[in-house]
Amino acid sequence: KNEKKKYMGLLFHIEIKMASRGKTETSKLKQNLEEQLDRLMQQLQDLEECREELDTDEYEETKKETLEQLSEFNDSLKKIMSGNMTLVDELSGMQLAIQAAISQAFKTPEVIRLFAKKQPGQLRTRLAEMDRDLMVGKLERDLYTQQKVEILTALRKLGEKLTADDEAFLSANAGAILSQFEKVSTDLGSGDKVLALASFEVEKTKK
């Protein structure tokens, strides 16, 4: 664990130095951050896939560790973005997606990943695949509802227009945490309020 923290600290130190440079470095920085986020999302996905093989304590402890790593990642992202409007524009979606994961508003790693990378087209494709899977009985209704709510919320945050049916579905099915997340993050620019919610939820997780 200590080695992992040293590695993450070194990575973020390098990235913060890069953040003050030009366009090429900004592109490299974004790529590095996306790779780091992919690794953390893969950890979450692997954990969910292996859930039945783990006892409850082991599952909860591993999930808590991953959420703490996401929180550290979020803190570093704030430092990187501080005072650099180019990076704020580039990384705001990633920041919001990470905060959604930390607060447990979003629980589907692949949806969080696509949200972070600002990929509304791929999110819509995933939703269409889910619709088909539900119709043929490959996807349970509860899981379908949870993931559809996450995708529709992500699409709205990315500035996509939702149909009246999708808006109604979201209103009917959004849980308490997701509704709160929605209220404080009316757009990608409301970083401070979202950070406050994410910090609050992380503190609750730690208790």
Burial 95-134 (b: 16+ CB within 10 A, else e): bbbbbbbbbbbbbbbbbbbbbbbbbbeebeebbeebeeeb
pLDDT value, residue 16 = 52
pLDDT at 195: 44
CB 166 within 8 A of CB 152: yes
pLDDT at 128: 97
The more confidently predicted of residues 179 and 199 is 179
Q: What is the arithmetic mean of pLDDT over 29-54?
A: 89
Q: 193 pLDDT band (50/70/90 cuts)?
A: very low
Look at residue 81 in the predicted model and tell me its pLDDT.
82
